[in-house]
């Protein structure tokens, strides 16, 4: 949901999916992530075609829908940062995964930074500070938060890490697919659109996938299957958040 997701480094305001420590875009992924990405192909197409996404990239989306999305993202990002911290802490207890633990901890902090930017950006569309006490999480938001919390705290560490990956992958996927045709000049959502589909965002998504793939190397078939199920479910949850924003506007 960051949107899935390079705002601080690209804009000097906040960061969405442009985490430091860039990864080579040509990096070879293991079988798990390749198969998981294939399994999520229909979710990927549905997101790319969603009226919210096409409207944002064209600059034609109703502002009320975009504000609704940003407001719900405040709930999501709070939980996502906490769950990234949980995964980071669990990784510190696993020998040989110190770098991955540092990555997840850094992503958690940058998610908090993104949340600050999100609140400020939402305020520019309503011409007053966003009153968080007046907001309520939508059912779709609660469902996605619940999945990530359950996986991060109660399931195998491989599954926990896989549950964090859709936010990286979905935004990178539609960003790269739609960036070339995006309208930037005069687009009220330019600050949100412009960092998507960049090399920095793609490298970050690959780095996150690589961390999950390392964990998957010694996972059982049952755990690998659960990882894929959770990943695909998360991708559809990302779609549902865009759907909820349009419906509620």
Q: How many Å from the N-terminal Cα to the C-terminal Cα in the chain?
A: 18
| pLDDT greater than 50 at residue 17 | no
Over pLDDT 90: what percentage of the chain? 86
Question: What DSSP string describes 135-196?
Answer: ----HHHHHHHHHHHHHHHHS-HHHHHHHHHHHHHHHHHHHHHHGGG---TT-TTHHHHTTT
Cβ-based neighbours of 80, under 8 Å, separated by 6 or more: 1, 2, 111, 148, 164, 167
pTM of the full structure: 0.88
Q: Where are the domains of the chain?
A: 7-11+28-248
Q: How confident is the model at residue 28 (pLDDT cuts 50, 70, 90)?
A: very low
Question: Is 148 in contact with 234 (CB distance < 8 Å)?
Answer: yes
Average pLDDT over residues 101-129: 96
Two tokens, residue 156: 């195998």
Over pLDDT 70: what percentage of the chain? 87
How do residues 144-197 score in pLDDT, each as one tens digit?
999 999 999 999 999 999 999 999 999 999 999 999 999 999 999 999 999 999
Q: How confident is the model at residue 31 (pLDDT cuts 50, 70, 90)?
A: confident
Q: Please state which CATH class domain 7-11+28-248 belongs to.
A: mainly alpha
Residue 177's alpha-carbon distances to 32, 132, 165, 172, 197, in angstroms, are 22, 33, 18, 8, 7
Question: Is 86 in contact with 152 (CB distance < 8 Å)?
Answer: yes
| 60/37 Cα distance (integer angstroms) | 30
How do residues 219-239 score in pLDDT, each as one tens digit?
999 999 999 999 999 999 999
**Buried b or exposed e, range 148-179, using 16+ CB within 10 angstroms:** bbebbeebbbbbbbbbbbbbbbbbbbbbbbbb
SS3 98: helix
Average pLDDT over residues 16-40: 60
Q: Which parts of the chain fold into alpha helices (H)? A: 7-11, 31-39, 41-49, 51-58, 63-92, 98-126, 139-154, 157-178, 190-193, 199-216, 221-248
């Amino acid at each position: 949901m960051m949107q899935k997701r390079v705002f601080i480094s690209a804009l000097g305001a906040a960061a969405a999916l442009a985490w430091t420590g860039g990864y080579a875009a040509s990096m070879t992924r293991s079988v798990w992530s390749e198969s998981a990405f294939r399994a999520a192909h229909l979710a990927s197409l549905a997101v790319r075609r969603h009226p919210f996404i096409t409207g944002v990239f064209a600059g034609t989306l109703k502002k009320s829908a975009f504000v609704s999305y940003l407001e719900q993202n405040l709930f999501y990002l709070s939980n996502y940062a906490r769950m990234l911290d949980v995964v980071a802490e669990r990784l510190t207890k696993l020998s040989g995964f110190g770098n991955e633990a540092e990555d997840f901890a850094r992503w958690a902090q940058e998610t908090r930074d993104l949340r600050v930017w999100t609140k400020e950006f939402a305020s520019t569309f309503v011409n007053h500070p966003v009153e968080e006490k007046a907001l309520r999480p939508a059912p779709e938001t609660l469902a996605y938060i619940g999945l990530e919390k359950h996986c991060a705290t109660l399931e195998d560490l491989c599954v926990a890490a896989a549950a964090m990956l859709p936010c990286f992958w979905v935004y990178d996927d539609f960003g790269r697919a739609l960036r070339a045709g995006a309208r930037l000049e005069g687009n009220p959502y330019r600050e949100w659109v412009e960092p998507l589909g960049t090399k920095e965002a793609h490298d970050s998504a690959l780095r996150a996938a690589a961390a999950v793939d390392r964990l998957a190397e010694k996972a059982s078939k049952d755990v690998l299957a659960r990882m894929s199920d959770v990943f695909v479910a998360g991708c559809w949850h990302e779609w549902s958040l865009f759907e909820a924003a349009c419906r509620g506007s």
